[in-house]
């Protein structure tokens, strides 16, 4: 039997586009939110924040956007593609340097990445993945980017960086602490926390073109509320509850 567009895209379907680093926490939130709001079916869309932003700019039917940095949200705000009154910072993260657990290279910090035996370093694409932008900033501020740029392997998002390191396909990578905690046991080592001048702060907002603004705001309130903040903390994020 054919399904009509109205039945397929009912008013109870809420599409949430969220940064890849939120995959585990938001998947948990999806389940709990739907339990408490049985009339709303949440569909999650995870990717690098820049790619998600471009989907919204292209007219994709997205209701809520959660970014891993302020920049991509600022761009959408300037284009009047988000409801600015709904925008809220809801979590913070930290950047870490990781290596494969089997690594025999003596990498103990950023400076060691310049050693000649370090061949491949994975970072997210700085243009589309905030984790890559933070890594680029950190290496630039440390005066190392020019030496390391030709050794970098760009990844679509933080999850791809993690996979490269887990598989030993690169010598080191930059991920968020929360993602490092999701690695397959025994596959990586966290070498160092990497200082960044701009906080790794996550904003969330209702998308202007959403046809389900009330439900979208309910999800946003859940994320920023007590239960959502507790879930984020469980996954290693620093909550930003008021």
Query: pLDDT tens digit string along 150-209?
Result: 999 999 999 999 999 999 999 999 999 999 999 999 999 999 999 998 899 999 999 999
Distance, first Cα to last Cα, the chain: 49
Share of the chain above pLDDT 70, in %: 95
Q: Which helix (H) or strand (E) holds 120?
A: none
| Sign of the C-alpha dihedral computed for residues 227, 45, 64 and 84 taken in this order | positive
**Contacts of residue 159, Cβ cutoff 8 Å, sequence gap at least 6:** 20, 21, 23, 179
* Per-residue pLDDT tens digits of the chain, which is 242 residues long: 343 444 444 448 999 999 999 999 999 999 999 999 999 999 999 999 999 999 999 999 999 999 999 999 999 999 999 999 999 999 999 999 999 999 999 999 999 999 999 999 999 999 999 999 999 999 999 999 999 999 999 999 999 999 999 999 999 999 999 999 999 999 999 999 999 988 999 999 999 999 999 999 999 999 999 999 999 999 999 987 44
**pTM exceeding 0.85:** yes
| Sign of the C-alpha dihedral computed for residues 215, 220, 224 and 230 taken in this order | positive
In this prediction, residue 4 carries a pLDDT of: 41
Residue with tokens 């761009």: 75
Say how far apart CA 226 and CA 209 lie, in whole Å.
28
């Amino acid at each position: 039997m054919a399904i009509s567009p109205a039945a397929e895209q009912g008013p109870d379907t809420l599409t949430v586009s969220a940064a890849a680093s939120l995959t585990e926490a938001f998947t948990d939130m999806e389940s709990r939110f739907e339990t408490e709001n049985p009339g709303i079916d949440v569909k999650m869309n995870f990717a690098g924040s820049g790619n998600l932003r471009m989907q919204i700019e292209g007219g994709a039917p997205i209701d809520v956007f959660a970014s891993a940095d302020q920049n991509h949200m600022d761009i959408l705000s300037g284009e009047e593609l988000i409801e600015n009154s709904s925008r809220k910072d809801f979590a913070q993260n930290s950047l870490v340097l990781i290596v494969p657990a089997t690594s025999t290279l003596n990498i103990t910090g950023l400076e060691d990445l310049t050693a000649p035996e370090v061949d491949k370093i994975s970072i997210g694409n700085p243009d589309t993945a905030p984790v890559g932008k933070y890594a680029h900033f950190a290496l630039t501020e440390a005066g190392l980017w020019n030496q390391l740029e030709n050794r970098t392997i760009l990844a679509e998002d933080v999850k791809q960086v993690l996979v490269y390191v887990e598989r030993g396909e690169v010598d080191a990578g930059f991920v968020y602490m929360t993602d490092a905690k999701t690695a397959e046991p025994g596959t990586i080592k966290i070498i160092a926390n990497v200082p960044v001048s701009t906080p790794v702060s996550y904003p969330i907002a209702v998308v202007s073109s959403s046809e389900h603004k009330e439900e979208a705001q309910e999800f946003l309130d859940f994320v920023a509320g007590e239960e959502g903040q507790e879930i984020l903390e469980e996954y290693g994020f620093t909550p930003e509850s008021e």
